Structure 1
């Protein structure tokens, strides 16, 4: 184990918080944004991560150092990996780094359940970070409390999720395995929930304005544990001259500059998802048939790093390039900037919470295609808010390697057409999003609900430290 390189500024404060992000983009980036916000509020912030994950953080770190904020990174030399074994391999080296740093508080990703024991050993508060919303947590919490394999006989029969503010229906085929007892994942997520109960509090990347009933519901359900909603985290950094510290303009943004307003469909299923080649083919055929141009982010398969075809029809990429019908991206894409571009008219998404939040802020209606994790629950929130249409996915996948039944071209086309500029459904969703987007943006402004929650969170952990020392 090695601390490796250390990035820091000359500014130092007495109160020190260590941030422990999971090395996965959807978990790491928002927790690093929390560290940046703490740093901007005068809290000495240290991020502990692996060397492999540093590239995801580098632009954030350099930008904040340029602004003089006291943020630093300690690198733990652990090879990249996956799954439960990898999470276990991180424990001992990270624990030792944290002990050496002697912080006043540990701010931990939800999956590092062992950090609650470390915090108790060091007699400091531990905050558990959920990078998702309280709606999905409410649904899954209820399912875990009440789920029974005999609640319905058929996988495709709907049932009402108990004890929620709204009537939310689910199907067994959409229920994650981990909500069931007596499974490996079920036992692990029970450990996550129990570690939350022993924590100083739970922090969510959401805001009250999106899901007020579910913020209130979870605060009542999880008794004895404080909850803070401080998102959307990326929105705190909008319009802060951030682009000045970035590299040259991404090709996708240049391409979008030449498209008509609200004409382009953005297609992205997250940084981890891999589809069967047959499904890639159906998506390609659907995008080809639609009148709308598109930007499509296709993740490279590990066994095909060049990303050649992977199910794309013969000559597809050359044809769309020649006709300027679409753009395919196989590397990192600046999703926030893409969604906020005037040319974007819709977003075909897997319903990852970060993606949905970014679309809400940008005012972009959604075509929802849930796959795994909490995607199916988030799709229900999109439906409740009336800001998207469903493509019709009905089967939960056990991993990000998607094996659920193929969604055919016609179904995809029908969903995208509903978002076209001028359609009644599309215009109603845009109007709903306009109102919601304004509320969400205001939540991170001074005096807004998330801004005030962030202030209260920092004050509460400092007050705990003061009480322990007096």
Structure 2
């Protein structure tokens, strides 16, 4: 990361980072920790044993660097919350019925955190917590620590059914109100976006909250080296990574469509079949990420997927990746010309950074809003045609929500070499350049990051003075 140094004339401020235990939240907050440390801060990153194990290579890499980051592991209260042992991350929950108990378990981390904060040297000056950690605010106020909320504001008019969140469900009122109250009480807000991407939204958010709002992203751009990018979130076996790299190197420029639906979505065999048939009909080369939870050994889905993989390999049309994929590495490869995505915010930002246009297929939460931003506002995507939200980790869903014809049509449009496709690629490339500029010395996100650190440092000096 250019433009950030460890030079400071005052004692370094100490930030405590508390992400929601979900890959889409943890990964960017690890990047945030690196950026803050590179800017001269000391950072303590709160995690749990299972989550720490999943990013162990990345932790090891940070620990051998000069960055002042420590990883603090708290015991996750699975038993107290009635959760299966080891379910310390949203994507490890076997069914969506466990979502509420999972979020309700988070405040049980509070006592452990208080004990840890008492041992921290230097004394913490600021907590940056995900909005689901409403309980963190009371700890910050008790210890006279600044509390900043980490969120992603995106507001576009659309159908109510497509923007309902877990906390809007009838049994979630208490948790919802606690989250809103915590965000209202925060001293400021840190966002993983950049001013040039959605300036109108950032400005409206500042006016609506009356608080300091610092867009400091895209956080993923902190990782410029291939090795660092490949181990974000999870580790890919060396042989699989080499095989993927060789396959991409042998493909023509912009000839491959990358398909991945994030860490939480679960597709039944009926939907997997529609995706596979749509890809075949479209005729494009592809890399399709299918998570292990979707295709269990010995099932009908496993049999179908093996046959599909064999046919694709013989035709040299595509690769199916089971489980985790190095998404940033794939998106950054010249052979990749399009990305079919669930519209999670991390995935959107990573595609924008790579200058890759998207075929949007939202599933739940804020993803339908993000689709509208990508397709209608930024003009860098085509909609696949999903209109009905589905639950994450829903084991009971059997029907497909998007047919093969829509998949085929979206892929053909996405990979189009005509005027429409070229315009999307041009705009995607422009936003990619703006994203990179924002993170460089003098860029908007670089300046905002310095602003966050200065804000905390000034308060630290005022209190100590």
TM bin (shorter chain):
0.7 to 0.9
Equivalent residue number for residue 394 of structure 2: 401
1:176 alignment partner, one of 127, 150, 164: 164
CA–CA separation in structure 2 for the residues paired with 1:71 and 1:407:
44
The answer as to whether partners of 1:279 and 1:407 remain within 8 angstroms in 2 is yes
Question: CA offsets per residue over residues 426-446 of structure 1, 9 Å max, x none?
Answer: 111001112111111100000
Task: Note closer, same or farther for the CA distance 1:85–1:201 as it changes in structure 2 (3 Å cut).
Answer: same
Structure 1 residue 115 corresponds to structure 2 residue 136: yes
- Equivalences for residues 292-441 of structure 1 within 5 A: 292-301=284-293, 304=296, 309-310=301-302, 312=304, 315-383=307-375, 384-401=377-394, 403=397, 406-441=401-436
CA–CA separation in structure 1 for the residues paired with 2:405 and 2:326:
29
- Equivalences for residues 214-233 of structure 1 within 5 A: 214-223=201-210, 225-233=211-219
User: Unaligned regions of 5+ residues in structure 2, if any?
Assistant: 1-10, 77-85, 94-101
Deviation at 1:307, TM superposition (A): 8.1
CA–CA separation in structure 2 for the residues paired with 1:311 and 1:269:
21
DSSP 3-state at the match of 1:203: strand
CA–CA separation in structure 1 for the residues paired with 2:298 and 2:189:
41
DSSP 3-state at the match of 2:67: coil
Structure 1 residue 198 corresponds to structure 2 residue 185: yes
CA–CA separation in structure 2 for the residues paired with 1:314 and 1:199:
50
- Equivalences for residues 249-288 of structure 1 within 5 A: 249-288=241-280
The answer as to whether partners of 1:284 and 1:312 remain within 8 angstroms in 2 is no
Task: Note closer, same or farther for the CA distance 1:187–1:405 as it changes in structure 2 (3 Å cut).
Answer: farther
Segment of structure 1 superposing worse, 183-192 or 370-379: 183-192
User: Unaligned regions of 5+ residues in structure 1, if any?
Assistant: 1-12, 140-167
- Equivalences for residues 57-136 of structure 1 within 5 A: 57-78=55-76, 79-81=86-88, 82=93, 83-101=102-120, 102-130=123-151, 132=152, 134-135=153-154
CA–CA separation in structure 2 for the residues paired with 1:313 and 1:45:
43
Structure 1 residue 463 corresponds to structure 2 residue 458: yes
Q: Following TM superposition, where does structure 1 have runs of at least 4 consecutive aligned residues deviating by more than 6 angstroms?
A: 243-247
Question: CA offsets per residue over residues 105-135 of structure 1, 9 Å max, x none?
Answer: 21212211100000000001012112x3x32
CA–CA separation in structure 1 for the residues paired with 2:12 and 2:206:
31
Deviation at 1:425, TM superposition (A): 2.1
CA–CA separation in structure 1 for the residues paired with 2:29 and 2:192:
9
CA root-mean-square deviation = 2.5
Equivalent residue number for residue 175 of structure 2: 188
Question: CA offsets per residue over residues 264-319 of structure 1, 9 Å max, x none?
Answer: 11000001111121111100111122211110001112792688734836721111
The answer as to whether partners of 1:129 and 1:202 remain within 8 angstroms in 2 is yes
Equivalent residue number for residue 149 of structure 1: none
CA–CA separation in structure 2 for the residues paired with 1:365 and 1:92:
45
Segment of structure 1 superposing worse, 16-25 or 112-121: 16-25
Deviation at 1:71, TM superposition (A): 1.4
CA–CA separation in structure 2 for the residues paired with 1:394 and 1:426:
23
The answer as to whether partners of 1:442 and 1:448 remain within 8 angstroms in 2 is yes
The answer as to whether partners of 2:45 and 2:71 remain within 8 angstroms in 1 is yes
DSSP 3-state at the match of 1:319: helix
The answer as to whether partners of 1:265 and 1:348 remain within 8 angstroms in 2 is yes
Q: Provide TM-score, normalisation by structure 1.
A: 0.84
The answer as to whether partners of 1:280 and 1:311 remain within 8 angstroms in 2 is no
The answer as to whether partners of 2:268 and 2:400 remain within 8 angstroms in 1 is no
DSSP 3-state at the match of 2:301: coil
CA–CA separation in structure 2 for the residues paired with 1:229 and 1:317:
41
Higher relative contact order (CA 8 A, sep 6+): 2
Kindly indicate which of the two structures has a greater share of residues assigned to helix: 2
CA–CA separation in structure 2 for the residues paired with 1:351 and 1:365:
12
The answer as to whether partners of 2:192 and 2:215 remain within 8 angstroms in 1 is yes
Segment of structure 1 superposing worse, 249-258 or 436-445: 249-258
The answer as to whether partners of 2:164 and 2:365 remain within 8 angstroms in 1 is yes
DSSP 3-state at the match of 2:337: strand
Question: CA offsets per residue over residues 181-229 of structure 1, 9 Å max, x none?
Answer: x823354233222211211211110000100111111100112x21110
DSSP 3-state at the match of 2:46: strand
CA–CA separation in structure 1 for the residues paired with 2:226 and 2:242:
18
DSSP 3-state at the match of 2:61: helix
